A = this chain, B = another copy of it.
Amino acid sequence: MSFDRLIENIVKTQNPSVVGLDPRLEYVPEYIVSKKIKKYGKTLKAASKAILEFNKAIIDEIHDICPAVKPQAAYYEMYGWEGVKTLYKTIEYAQSKGMFVMTDGKRNDIGATMEAYATAHLGFTEVGGENIPAFGADALTVNGYLGTDGIAPLLEKCRAYDKGIFVLVKTSNKSSGELQDLKLGSKTVYATMGEMCEKWGAEVMGKYGYSGVGAVVGATYPEQLTELRKALPHTFFLVPGYGAQGGGAEGVSKGFDENGLGAIVNSSRAVMCAYKKEECDPHEFAKAARREVIRMKEDIISYLPKLKLPD
* Copies of this chain assembled into the complex: 2
Question: With an 8 A cutoff between CB atoms, is A67 at the interface?
Answer: no
CB under 8 Å from chain B, chain A span 15-42: 22, 24-25, 33, 37, 42
In contact, A42 and B128 (Cβ under 8 angstroms): yes
Q: How far is the CA of A173 from the CA of B33 in the complex (A)?
A: 45
Question: A121: which B residues are within 8 A, CB to CB?
Answer: 77
Question: A114: which B residues are within 8 A, CB to CB?
Answer: 74
Q: How far is the CA of A127 from the CA of B38 in the complex (A)?
A: 12
Question: A173: which B residues are within 8 A, CB to CB?
Answer: 110-111, 146-147, 149-150
Residues on A close to B: CB < 8 A?
22, 24-25, 33, 37, 42-44, 46-47, 72, 74-75, 77-81, 83-85, 87-88, 106-111, 113-114, 116-117, 119-121, 125-130, 132, 134-135, 143-150, 168, 171-180, 182-185, 189, 192-193, 196
Least Cβ–Cβ distance between A158 and chain B, in angstroms: 17
* 21 intermolecular pairs with C-beta atoms under 8 Å apart: A37-B128, A42-B128, A42-B129, A74-B107, A74-B114, A74-B116, A79-B134, A80-B132, A106-B107, A110-B171, A110-B172, A110-B173, A144-B179, A145-B171, A147-B175, A147-B180, A149-B174, A178-B196, A179-B192, A179-B196, A189-B189
Q: How far is the CA of A132 from the CA of B49 in the complex (A)?
A: 16
Q: How far is the CA of A88 from the CA of B83 in the complex (A)?
A: 12
Q: A80-B120, A146-B176, A189-B189 are in contact. List 17 more A-B contacts (CB 8 A).
A: A22-B113, A25-B127, A44-B132, A44-B134, A47-B127, A72-B109, A74-B114, A74-B120, A75-B113, A80-B135, A81-B84, A81-B87, A106-B109, A145-B145, A146-B175, A147-B178, A179-B193
Q: How far is the CA of A183 from the CA of B178 in the complex (A)?
A: 15
Question: A119: which B residues are within 8 A, CB to CB?
Answer: 78
Closest chain B residue to A185, Cβ basis: B183
Least Cβ–Cβ distance between A43 and chain B, in angstroms: 6
Question: A134: which B residues are within 8 A, CB to CB?
Answer: 44, 77-80, 83
